[in-house]
Structure 1
Amino acid sequence: MSIELDETRPKWRQVASILRARIADGTYPPGSRVPSVVALTGEFGIAAVTAQKTLKALREEGLIRTETGMGSYVTGLPSRPSPD
């Protein structure tokens, strides 16, 4: 079962906001893996390209790092709440 997303807002922004909150609340502590593209597509009912865009945004914010063939890992905590 996937999480319901607001159809009037970009899905990747909504998923990124949820992942940011999970990082901030310790669900995904520093050093832990974040869900893969496949896991995100299943959990949120989004396309793979949307999941990739979500992870790219978190990488650009410095919240995660991606190791080829290994996955994406939390590197830090959000510095401020996101408006998403």
Structure 2
Amino acid sequence: MIRQRIADGTYPPGTRVPSVVEMLEEFGIATTTGQKVHRGLRSEGLIYTEPGMGSFVSKNLPEDLAAAGGSSDDA
């Protein structure tokens, strides 16, 4: 879901994305799942994390987010 929101522009570059705790509340997922989502999005270069500030959509996104892997079902 976060990947889809990045792809469709709901979260444009530089925008803060939901924290793990916020994802738990919004999507009803486990903490471990939320951490995996953040880790995966970071490894794909879709988000970056500023300690103490949060995670943000990367300014240089891949042209084709579908090629970044995963499905739109990701939290």
TM range (shorter): 0.7 to 0.9
What does residue 35 of structure 2 align with? Answer: 52
Structure 2 gap segments, 5+ residues each: none
C-alpha displacement at 1:83, in angstroms? 4.8
Distance 2:6 2:61 in 1: 6
TM-score of the superposed pair, with normalisation by structure 1: 0.72
- 1:77 corresponds, among 61, 65, 71, to 61
Task: String of CA shifts for 1:11-59, please: whole Å, max 9, x gaps.
Answer: xxxxxxx111100111000000000111000111111111011000000
Q: 1:36 to 1:83 in 2, by over 3 A?
A: closer
- Percent of aligned pairs with the same amino acid: 60
Give the match's secondary structure for 1:73: strand
- Which of 1 and 2 has greater Rg? 1
TM-score of the superposed pair, with normalisation by structure 2: 0.80
Q: How many residues align?
A: 67
What does residue 27 of structure 1 align with? Answer: 10
Greater RCO, CA 8 A, separation 6+: 2
